[in-house]
Amino acid sequence: MFKAVYDTNVIVSAVLHKDRLPASILSLALKGKVRLFLSEELLREYEGVLKRPKFKLGEKEIGNLMKLIRKKAVKVEPANKLTKIKKDLADNRVLECALEAQVNFIVTGNKKHFPFERFHKAKVVNPQEFATYFMAKR
C-alpha cells in the first residue's frame, strides 16, 4: 500500500471540485486504499485554508471532512523542524511529515514549490502522476 502525504492544495481542490482527480485521490485515502499521513500542524493548515472566506465552505462541511481525515489518516509527530522550502513556509510541514512517516509520495498540485524530484524516500508528484502510479500497482 502506498504511503503518502497530501499537500494542502490537494485537499482544497478535492473539496472545491468533487468531480476532479484530487477528490478521487482524497477518496483513496479515506477508503483506506492509500495510507495518508499527517501531523497536527498539517491538519491545522488544511482546516485553516479551507476556512478562508474566498472558498465559501460551511463550518459543518469542513468539520465533517476534518473528522473523517482524522479518523482515516495516520498521525505522526515530526521530530525535526525543517526550513528547506523558502517560498511557502507551510510546505515545510508537508516535508516534516513525509520524513517522519517515511512515505513513498508527496502529492502536490504545486510541484514548483518543491524544487526536487525526491525528498528522502518520497517521490514528489502531482495528482495525475500519483494516480498513474496507483493504477500501475493494482
CA distance 107 to 122: 10
Lowest mean pLDDT: which of 29-33, 47-51, 97-101, 111-115?
111-115
Instruction: Give Cα separations from 50 to 4, 13, 14, 33, 71 (angstroms).
Output: 20, 10, 11, 24, 18
pLDDT top residue among 89 and 138: 89
- pLDDT band with cut points at 50, 70 and 90 for residue 94: very high
pLDDT at 137: 81
Q: Give me the pLDDT at residue 90, please.
A: 84
Domain boundaries, the chain: 3-136
Whether the pLDDT of residue 88 is over 80: the answer is: no
* Single pTM value for the model: 0.94
What percent of the chain is modeled with pLDDT above 70?
A: 99
Domain 3-136 grouped into CATH 3.40.50.1010: yes
Task: Place 3 in a pLDDT band, splitting at 50, 70 and 90.
Answer: very high
